[in-house]
Amino acid sequence: MQFISKSDFKAHALEVLRDIEESGNPRIITDRGRPTHILTHKYLIDTGYMFQII
**Fold category of 2-53 in CATH:** YefM-like fold (3.40.1620)
Q: Where exactly are the structural domains of the chain?
A: 2-53
Question: What is the 8-class DSSP label of residue 47?
Answer: T
What pLDDT, in 10s, does the model give residues 5-49?
A: 999 999 999 999 999 988 888 899 999 999 999 988 776 555 555
List all residues 6 or more positions away from 44 whose beta carbon is below 8 Å from its beta carbon: 24, 26, 50, 53
Q: How far is residue 20's CA from residue 39's CA, in Å, rounded to a whole number?
A: 8
Q: Are 3 and 28 in contact (CB under 8 A)?
A: yes
Q: How far is residue 48's CA from residue 13's CA, in Å, rounded to a whole number?
A: 25
pLDDT score recorded for residue 46: 54
- Residue 54 scores a pLDDT above 90: no
Q: How far is residue 17's CA from residue 51's CA, in Å, rounded to a whole number?
A: 20
